[in-house]
Chains A and B, each alone.
Chain A
Amino acid sequence: MSVIELRTAIRDALDEELARDERVVFFGEDVAVAGGVFAATPGLHERHGDARVFDTPISELAMAGAAYGAAVCGMRPVLEIMFGDFLPLAMDSLLNQASKFHFLDGERGCPLVIRCVVGAGGRFGAIHSQMPVAWFHGITGIKLVAPSNPADAKGLLRAAIQDENPVLFFEHKRLYSLKGEVGDELVPLGKAAVVREGADVTIVSAMKGVHDSLAAAELLADQGVEAEVIDLCTIRPFDVETVLASVRKTSRIVVVEEGPLTGGWAGEVLARVTEHALGELDDAWRIATADGPVPYSPPLEDAFLPGPQRIATEILERR
């Protein structure tokens, strides 16, 4: 085990998978020679060479379409779309080709991974701060993976590269410098983690929201309320059993999502829980961002994001 930043965990996962499987290739804008604009991929180009790690033109349509074509023909491409806000440029191949291939072929999958930087809090404004998860949440056949810490980032990314299906891998820009212990284990896709145990309320979140939820749980503990915090890790397909087991204990659930309230994945979590455990619920609600774009100005962006105080306050007020 070693203590490393999340960005280093990403690089290590890519490095190990490139070394392990010659079918793996990694490409994107400024990822090879420059090592990534968030310094997440330095050294990979030098170690694995031009044919395996390369810089592309600013051509997201070509990048995503080529990743699909290469995946179908035996490679395991990993593609970086710099900011998740640029994913719409890559969406057609993903939605209309990659996600359909297994259904049409009947047997084989389309093993590709698209990594991207997401999330607000960096003062990057409305078009470099978005949370794209919900845009893709309604597409069948694509896994949506969203780590909250370095160990999961590495283990999940390696698992994503080994997965037979298209995976969108979301890296929150406010977590890149987060340090944590990282080992060599794969972290299975589709499995949530209980990161704090408690009997009074279940908080479900992902990425940066997990840290806000844990901080809220500490505030609540001072008030005599013990919150259980679940890190979804994979948002589609999500681990409904782990969430249900928690709710059966606490009878109250709040889902914390960074992203617009309307149409977000938090609604899907609550719908599943309600369908399976309505009789055991005393309360169920969502804490998300407003139905509007991410503002630039610090006081506006800070108010926009659901933080620990808001999470704790809502939980106390709804008791």
Chain B
Amino acid sequence: MRRSAVKEPEAGGQTATWTSAEQELYTALYREMTRIRRFEEAIQSLFLKGEVYGTTHLYSGQEAVAVGVSSVLERQDRVAGTYRGHGHALALGMGTQELLDEMLGRATGINGGRGGSMNVTSLRHRYMGSYGIVGGSIAAATGAALALRREGGVAVAYFGDGATNQAYFFECLNFAHVFKLPVLFVCENNLYMEYTLTTAVSGGDIQSRAASLGVRAEGVDGMRVWDVREAAARAAQRARAGEGPTLIEAHTYRFVGHSRSDPARYRPDGELGAWRERDPLVLCRARLEADGVDGEMLDALEAEVADELAAAEVAGLAAPWPDTAGLPGEFAEQTKPDRAGAPSRLAEQPQRNEGGAR
């Protein structure tokens, strides 16, 4: 194992006990992580059947990061995700059906089938977008923070370890520091930038880079949703208090290749298996059960999520295809209401949060 090595057995090592409110919260977060995992499995299966096209970058293994971070976000906050963004979007309460339909290229998709896996956008879910350019999310969230800070909002940028070698990373962290912008820079360090081990092409370490730019940095076990949530809560509190940005380096792992075409041959023997023992779903369920949450109830919850995905798949495959007549014109109409993302307007809109993660 490299860097974030496997730690002691999780559930057994816990001493603190969750309150009943916390049990309820983490049960909801467990459900949300399960929904993301089942969603990604459905995508994988549909891709193999030729129903999802192009390529996909699955979030399996990293669920605790987006779910933990999203659990501290408020209505006025905004999130910039990556091309590995299904989990980023779902964790904000995006519906299973509307995201699945987008992957299937259907008119009923969240972006009408225009976007696809790497280009999901939905401001009504507080989701600025899945940024297809490595590092693009970092800049997007930096700008979002400029717009949000007056109203106490924070912006979240998800990005991978590889993105910390992009100019975007250095320029935006410095920029956010200089203007004390309320940004959570959430680096999902899954060890690999596409097919290459990130440490093989990087100097120093990610937290030191942030610290050298004046940005407070902390590392967190990205497989433990409660650790991620607590780190995100600290960072969000600082941001809302006007104390500026924080970098959270979440040590995590993707259980699949970089994309559909990647067999992940670069992994050393045993690495995937070792990380699978720290599957964020397994750790969360073990912790819940250790705290006395009823296992049968969790079984039922898992079955519900599986049913939800199965139903969504049937409905999605029956959904209508988009028509070129429905494509937006080249330019937005001047008379349309402001969709630029002004927080005061968006805050008035109903927020869906089907996963119950907040």
Residues of chain A at the chain B interface (Cβ within 8 Å): 29-30, 33-34, 37, 55-62, 85-86, 89, 122-128, 290-293, 295-300, 303-304
Contact with A along B35-61 (1 / 0, CB 8 A): 000000000000000000111000000
**Contact: A295 with B113, CB < 8 Å?**
yes
Q: A125 to B117, Cβ gap below 8 A? A: yes
Contact call A89/B105, Cβ cutoff below 8 A? no
| Pair B133/A85 contact, Cβ less than 8 Å | yes
B330 at the interface (CB under 8 A from A): yes
Q: With contacts A58-B134, A300-B322 known, is A34 near B195, CB below 8 A?
A: yes
Residues in B with CB closer than 8 Å to A123 are 53-55, 105, 116
- Residue pair B193, A37 in contact (C-beta under 8 Å): no
Q: B194 interface residue, CB < 8 Å from A? A: yes
Considering the complex, which residues of chain B in the window 309-356 have a beta carbon less than 8 Å from any beta carbon of chain A? 321-324, 327-328, 330
Choose the segment among B196-204, B242-250, B280-288 that binds chain A (4+ C-beta atoms closer than 8 Å): B196-204
Q: Which of B90-121 contact A (CB under 8 A)?
A: 102, 105-106, 109, 113-119
Q: With A34-B266, A300-B327 as given contacts, are A125 and B116 in contact (CB-CB < 8 Å)? A: yes
Do the beta carbons of A29 and B196 come within 8 Å of each other? yes
Tell me the minimal C-beta distance from B198 to chain A in angstroms. Answer: 8
Pairwise interchain contact B54-A86, C-beta atoms closer than 8 A: no
Q: Does the CB pair B166–A296 fall under 8 Å?
A: no
Neighbouring B residues of A291 by C-beta, 8 Å: 330
> Which residues of chain A have C-beta atoms less than 8 A from B102's C-beta?
296
Q: Give the docked Cα–Cα distance between A56 and B134 (Å).
A: 14
Give CA–CA (A155, B329) in the complex, Å. 41
Pair A58/B163 contact, Cβ less than 8 Å: yes
| Number of residue pairs A-B, CB distance < 8 angstroms | 123
B193–A125 touching, CB < 8 Å? no
- Cα–Cα, bound, A209→B166 (Å): 34
- Interface SS, B side: loop
Complex CA gap A295/B326 in Å reads: 12
Residue of A whose beta carbon sits closest to that of B262: A37
**Are A298 and B119 CB-contacts (below 8 A) given A55-B196, A57-B162, A291-B330?**
no
What residue of chain A has the Cβ atom nearest to residue B165's Cβ?
A57
Q: Could you show 16 A-B contacts with beta carbons less than 8 Å apart?
A: A30-B194, A30-B195, A33-B195, A37-B261, A89-B166, A123-B53, A125-B117, A127-B119, A127-B133, A291-B330, A295-B113, A295-B322, A296-B119, A299-B105, A299-B322, A300-B114
Q: What is the total number of residues of chain B having a CB less than 8 Å from a CB of chain A?
A: 42
Of A55, A86, A295, which contacts B114 at CB under 8 A? A295
* CB atoms of B55 and A300 under 8 A apart: no
Interface core residue of A33, A86, A125 (most chain B CB under 10 Å)? A125
B202-245 Cβ-contact flags toward A at 8 Å (1 or 0): 10000000000000000000000000000000000000000000
- Closest-by-CB residue of A relative to B106 is A297
Whether B116 lies near A58 (C-beta < 8 A) is no
CB neighbours of B135 from chain A (8 A)? 58
B167 contacts chain A at the CB level, 8 A cutoff: yes
Q: Mark B244-263, 1 if CB is under 8 A from A, else 0.
A: 00000000000000010110
**Chain A residue with the shortest CB-CB distance to B195:** A34
Q: Mark B264-292, 1 if CB is under 8 A from A, else 0.
A: 00100000000000000000000000000
Add 13 more A-B contacts to A57-B193, A58-B166 (CB < 8 A): A30-B194, A34-B195, A34-B196, A37-B261, A58-B163, A58-B165, A59-B165, A122-B54, A124-B116, A293-B114, A296-B116, A298-B53, A298-B321
